[in-house]
Structure 1
């Protein structure tokens, strides 16, 4: 595994990837013990690389993406991922990193394919029609990553309740990110607000960033952040099943990403005039608060989220193409009558 590369080299490059790509996750991940931290960075390197390839950004890689379509780039991601999980070299260090961490933690091809299916939706120019569509997308791009992170932390494959809560945390992260990035997504020709929500608030398709609809947009985002808070509360309760340092890191991440959604709601109509982020001092405050909560314990949520990992997995499977019908002839021994 690891494409024949030394594990030390893979971890070093993974540290560089997270330092460059996500300051919020980097802060939380350094609360892990060394083994969990290294493995989480290996997984992050793969996620970051997939995201870059899907967007046509081939930073330091060997793929020729200049003239490739979005669908071709997703196909390349899937092929390299499957090679890495089969223990074959990929000539791309981030995919080799996935092969390494998968061999150590039991991350499966199905888990990885769930994440890649999210990139495939974006490549198709897909937009959510219903709330369920939105949550299925969030499952692919973040909930499934949460499940993989749980495996990185040593959560057994049969610990369904804990894996469900890990998925909840990923869903919360993505909902907050979507709320923050409404303007950026619109500029890129993307919209993750369900069409049914837009219709409910009398916003014509593609017009949600227009000034005259800003008040309605604020209400939609408040609704989205409230959903994120429900999933976050469920995830906090699930963190009780983790080791102390893992619990601390998870709660710190929940605080940091949760603050993003809260700030979007707080700034209301001004939320998209600039990109919302948390300062280093604020992150340290969230880490301190998480430390106290990791010791004292989290409150049980008053209401569990409507959208569960099981429901979203069924929706994801149902949305996949129908499998081909096998054409293998049936054995006919003892079916036809033998000639006398």
Structure 2
């Protein structure tokens, strides 16, 4: 009786499992926990017969002074725990590294049939080689048993999710496999060297990669981690199809399908077709968001399932129209873009409009050739979840962009004349976005009328609009110099006049220390709006409470950084952002509080 094997867990396997769990705990979703538990059960049940066979046939063994002695089918409990802890750590690492992915975006058909066929052929050939090695009953036995046990499973996984796997980004997949593999190679080498477990001579090729790490052990940990990751990819493939179906369903369904229902649908609809235009538009929306606002894209990962997809599509529309206005060659073009957006939005939200996708009707009106490549504006509007949004906030957003077009340094025209103008502008460009966001939240998680009646929803949405204004005031305080570079001054002219300053003076000297008083006044206004509306966050559904609070607090943190920058006399250099480590710490705390 000994504790060497348990010491391996205490020193090597439990610490990374504990650290990963503590770091990720607030971000865990019920679905992710279920996914990991499913993989652990499959790993244990599929490994026990194989491992028991190896021990009974003296291919590997455990010295009596290295294990406590309790066994199941001749397998020490320490070894069974190894199956659990390895699967858990690899699964959790995969979940962390792929958290930011919008899974349905990878359902888009790609040319990968040849690659998939080659992969299947290699796996089946490897299985055949394994059978030959196993039947030889010599130094190739252990390697053959690994191949015979693992490769058929990998072939089945590859058959199910091969195309989806090929579509996924390669870096998180490879890191999920290689990081735990290299780590376990080190653990295994040290354990073999200490004699915690032993591979019997005569059943192995007796080639060590380094130290005491046998070739077979290196292959074993590599293929087992590949099996775990491919198992998770297969589950994610099924979830991607389920999320796609939920998003494409017009009325929001507050009841998600069970794991059993998702699995059955997945197994019976492997070769189904998808709306390619929708998936192309979703990919474009994700790319747009990740390029224009990486923090917003990563932050959206804290929202779950179809709500996250709806938010990505909403953010994409806001970014597209914002760019069409700010980057237009002239005011006339920008105004035309706003007018076009208004017209298409009215049509998109018309109660008389048939339920077919927008682009099908554009093809009838404009012809398939002209519509084959939708403009970014039309595509972003076509993808808006119109059944879960209302038109008014989106039209008010366009009115905010029209206010932006009212700036003209040449004509001495500055539309933010009074504090009321400032409030109206902040409501239009930010309060409306908050309103639409909350509409989506209540559409997905507020269906129970006993929990959220209409009056309560409206009150919370009004608070959200006020909070959106607060965040816009922070933006204005931060970006005085950046706005001046495009001839815009969002500080009310009435404020400036109190200090004998004009908007033209701001354009000429945006770094002037005299502007500190207006920067501070804008931040105080932001804090007042924040204090007025922050309490409503606690009334939100718990699925949205943490992510929304994280976004808000990140913006308010920027306000504090603006004050410190001005107090330290640091001139603005680039766009002020909260460091990633501070955002992660904030997100961890806010998500922890929301789950408590």
Calculate the TM-score normalised by the size of structure 2.
0.45
1:138-173 superposed Cα distances (whole Å, 9 cap, x missing partner): 111110111001011126765211101211221122
Relative to structure 1, the CA distance from residue 211 to residue 184 in structure 2 (aligned partners, 3 Å threshold; closer, same or farther) is: closer
Counterpart in the other structure of 2:578: 278
Corresponding position of 2:475: 177
The answer as to 2:411 corresponding to 1:113 is no
User: In the alignment, what sits opposite 2:553?
Assistant: 255
Q: Residues of 1 paired with 2:478 and 2:330: CA distance?
A: 30
- Counterparts of 2:528 and 2:548, CA distance in 1: 16
Q: Report if aligned partners of 2:299, 2:551 keep a CA contact under 8 Å in 1.
A: yes
Deviation at 1:205? 2.9
Higher helix share goes to which structure?
Answer: 2
- Specify the structure having the higher radius of gyration (Cα): 2
Q: Tell me, what secondary structure is at the counterpart of 2:512? A: helix
TM-aligned CA distance change 1:102 to 1:250, over 3 Å: same
Structure 1: state its 5+ residue gaps: 58-64, 297-340
Matched, 1:289 2:589: yes
What's the TM-score, normalizing by structure 1? 0.76
1:123 aligned partner:
405
2:339 aligned with 1:51: no
CA, structure 1 residues 131+271, in 2 after alignment: closer, same or farther (shift >3 Å)?
A: farther
Q: Distance in 2 between matches of 1:67 and 1:287?
A: 40
Deviation at 1:96, TM superposition (A): 4.0
CA offset at residue 247 of structure 1?
Answer: 0.5
The answer as to 2:506 corresponding to 1:218 is: no
Segments ≥4 residues shifted beyond 6 Å: none
Instruction: Give 2:420's aligned residue.
Output: 132
**Distance change >3 Å, CA 236–CA 7, structure 1 → 2:** farther
Deviation string 1:27-48 (CA, Å, 9 cap, x unpaired) is 3211111111111001011001
Find the aligned partners of 1:282 and 1:201 in 2 and give their Cα distance.
Answer: 36
Partner of 2:535: 237
Which residue pairs with 1:102 in the alignment? 385
Distance 1:211 1:75, change over 3 A: closer
Report the secondary structure of 1:206's partner residue. helix
Residues 184 and 255 of structure 1: is their aligned pair in 2 closer, same or farther, counting only changes over 3 Å?
A: same
Deviation at 1:262, TM superposition (A): 1.2
Give the structure 2 partner of residue 320 of structure 1.
Answer: none
- What's 1:311 paired with? none
**Aligned equivalents of 1:67, 1:204: Cα separation in 2:** 23
Q: How does 1:1-340 map to 2 (within 5 A)?
A: 6-56=277-327, 68-86=332-350, 88-89=358-359, 91-92=374-375, 95-105=378-388, 107-125=389-407, 126-154=414-442, 158=455, 159-208=457-506, 214-268=512-566, 269-295=569-595
Q: CA RMSD in A?
A: 2.7
CA distance in 1, matches of 2:308, 2:319: 16
Deviations 1:64-106 (A, max 9, x none): x78953322322222233333345336335544444443331x
Q: Does the 8 A contact of 1:56 with 1:73 survive in 2? A: no
Distance 1:136 1:66 in 2: 24
* CA positional deviation for 1:273: 4.2
Structure 1 pair 122–92 and aligned structure 2 pair: CA distance change class (3 A): same
